[in-house]
Structure 1
């Protein structure tokens, strides 16, 4: 029986494969721990000049492979069950996932994230700290947490807040999914490659191993697709994104969008209507606070926030638990948000999520350091 994380060294590159294809390679605690162990083992391994991180594909009954996905995020069913049963491993999951993502951001060897299919939530946390983010045409990226009563964590506050204009607010509050052209435009991917490039890359490593991390990155970049005319879908609306999502509150944003008769604005309003009003307000503040914070502080802020997501209202009453129930457990897509509308969200309700649950000396991520 194969493990949840597969590893091999191919031509000087350590290849890590997330191996929960039926769950779209969503992360659970065992995977997080295995990934951390592998990265620590390869940190000083002279055979490994760079690391490649990819997702696996499900094998179909006829022996062929289904579409390959990088990682759909964290295991939200586990989060739901753990919160309902007061399973303390829920705390372990978030602490260790954030610590893993921090390792990727500061890893001493180049790390190449090979992005195919769905790259969302926890998958973005793995990808955005990578040295090189290689994307294929079929990617579907998003930080869709407000749809499940959460916020864009895994350093989402860090990488979203540093995008141009109000793009971070837009992607975090709305949770909009987007493709490769928008990812390249916004700097959430570095290079676009054709679908067959992954196999070409691996065969090339076998035939001619790399002798340094820089060589591995250069050869991955050289796989870039030529002559492809970009076709962004959402970044075309950058001026409107900045105008609306630069406003002080989510209520202001919605009011402004309501006065914009464009198809994009109306589609954005329709998407916002399904999100948690409270967590959209929390997300807006999170991204704006994170803009002024270094990486380690962002991880600590988000660890505080996620603890409060399961502590402000416990068990089934929690906003995140209700969001996951509606989307993935009962699948009725009718979340009963509390409060139900933006007009009912108070500053006190938002502030409750930003109250530190631990003193600084006891914070579970107190030992994280910023990149040198």
Structure 2
């Protein structure tokens, strides 16, 4: 059934589907043609579903999954946010800022949910999809998983709590994943502590039949583990692990992004270096020289700060940065270049890393609001 029974939509049209199997709520993001990207209506529907599950004593757990065969959730509906920003619709229930406020509140509610949550990170799982998935008690990656936080490509930073949940990795790996937006496989996600198990994609396809027959013996969490963890499955090696020494070499916290780029350029000039290492350096350099220079430096600082913040504090920091990025930063130009006009030639301002001034970075990190009037002031209180 739809999460909003009072609406005029049919179950097939509803963007969030809800059903209960063996006392477990199955909540499905239902925009398969858009890789289940989150609209504002979906965010609100999901928030309502969470409260419904919380209040129902008969429901013992919740499973989040995505409709279709290609992805769990590709993130927020960035094109819709771009249109709102271009139209100057900032405030109010349909403004772009309210989308982020509602999304962050939804993610926080999942992180602090009182019942076990399973997230099926099958296929494309990016941006806002990671915000949902990383809040789960059991994060299930698969052989089809494609995880990324690619926000710097469009002039934003990894948000939806990423400045907190990416801190589960070592500093260097966190900076590499957060700055470059590299796509991770399910095995990579397991290696980076962004998944709890990694199973064959086909195993996930049949989970409802197993769930319907599952026994609660041993407790809810044990039952969920039996349903979703594939027996006798040999996990694939994590390709990212092979690059760990290079990542540790370049992405040290002591280096700004500009300094990382300089080090990569210097070492690429070494004709005697191994070919695979040089290929990694070229790919990494390409990302760091084509994404928003300002947001790369802001993201680096935000990720390092997030390691010392609570989850609620991270969301408050991210909302301030996102607000500045949309109102006065590179977001609209990044979306225009990559998703609207698709000319792939964003005109960043400033255009290069050496032009990014330290005071500009600090400006983006400074909250636009006094603490008592922050839109997320009550989060975590």
1:103 aligns with 2:109: yes
Quick one: which of 10, 14, 30 aligns to 1:3? Answer: 14
Cα distance in 2 for partners of 1:222, 1:125 equals 22
Cα distance in 1 for partners of 2:232, 2:24 equals 22
Per-residue deviation, 1:199: 3.5
TM-score by length of 2: 0.90
Structure 1 runs of 4+ with >3 Å offset: 208-212
Per-residue deviation, 1:225: 5.7
Q: Output one character per residue of 1:2-58: Cα deviation in whole Å (capped at 9) or x when no partner.
A: 21000000112100000111111001110000001000110131221110000001x
For 2:18, what is the secondary structure of its paired residue?
Answer: strand
Per-residue deviation, 1:206: 1.7
Of the two structures, which has the highest relative contact order with CA contacts closer than 8 Å and spacing of 6 or more? 1
Cα RMSD for the two superposed structures: 1.5
**Structure 2 gap segments, 5+ residues each:** 1-9, 269-276
Cα distance in 2 for partners of 1:216, 1:7 equals 21
Task: Answer whether contact 1:194 1:224 (CA < 8 A) is retained.
Answer: no
Quick one: which of 119, 122, 130 aligns to 1:124? Answer: 130
Structure 1 match to 2:5:
none
For 1:52, what is the secondary structure of its paired residue?
Answer: strand
- Give the number of aligned pairs: 355
Quick one: which of 295, 311, 331 aligns to 2:311? Answer: 295
Structure 2 match to 1:285:
301
Cα distance in 2 for partners of 1:340, 1:258 equals 18
TM-score by length of 1: 0.92
Cα distance in 2 for partners of 1:83, 1:157 equals 24
Structure 1 match to 2:288:
272
After superposition, where does 1:1-372 map in structure 2 within 5 Å? 1=10, 2-57=13-68, 67-88=69-90, 89-208=95-214, 210=216, 212-223=219-230, 226-228=233-235, 230-246=236-252, 247-261=254-268, 262=277, 263-311=279-327, 313=328, 318-369=329-380
Per-residue deviation, 1:112: 0.3
Task: Answer whether contact 1:11 1:210 (CA < 8 A) is retained.
Answer: no
For 1:70, what is the secondary structure of its paired residue?
Answer: strand
**Structure 1 gap segments, 5+ residues each:** 58-66
Task: Answer whether contact 1:143 1:175 (CA < 8 A) is retained.
Answer: yes
Per-residue deviation, 1:259: 2.9
Q: Output one character per residue of 1:145-166: Cα deviation in whole Å (capped at 9) or x when no partner.
A: 0000000000110011231241
For 2:28, what is the secondary structure of its paired residue?
Answer: strand
For 1:54, what is the secondary structure of its paired residue?
Answer: strand
The structure-2 alpha-carbon separation of the partners of 1:225 and 1:8, relative to structure 1 and needing over 3 Å to count, comes to farther
Q: Output one character per residue of 1:162-186: Cα deviation in whole Å (capped at 9) or x when no partner.
A: 3124111111111111111111101
Q: Output one character per residue of 1:300-321: Cα deviation in whole Å (capped at 9) or x when no partner.
A: 111111111123x2xxxx4000
Report the more deviating stretch, 321-330 or 237-246.
237-246
Task: Answer whether contact 2:65 2:119 (CA < 8 A) is retained.
Answer: yes
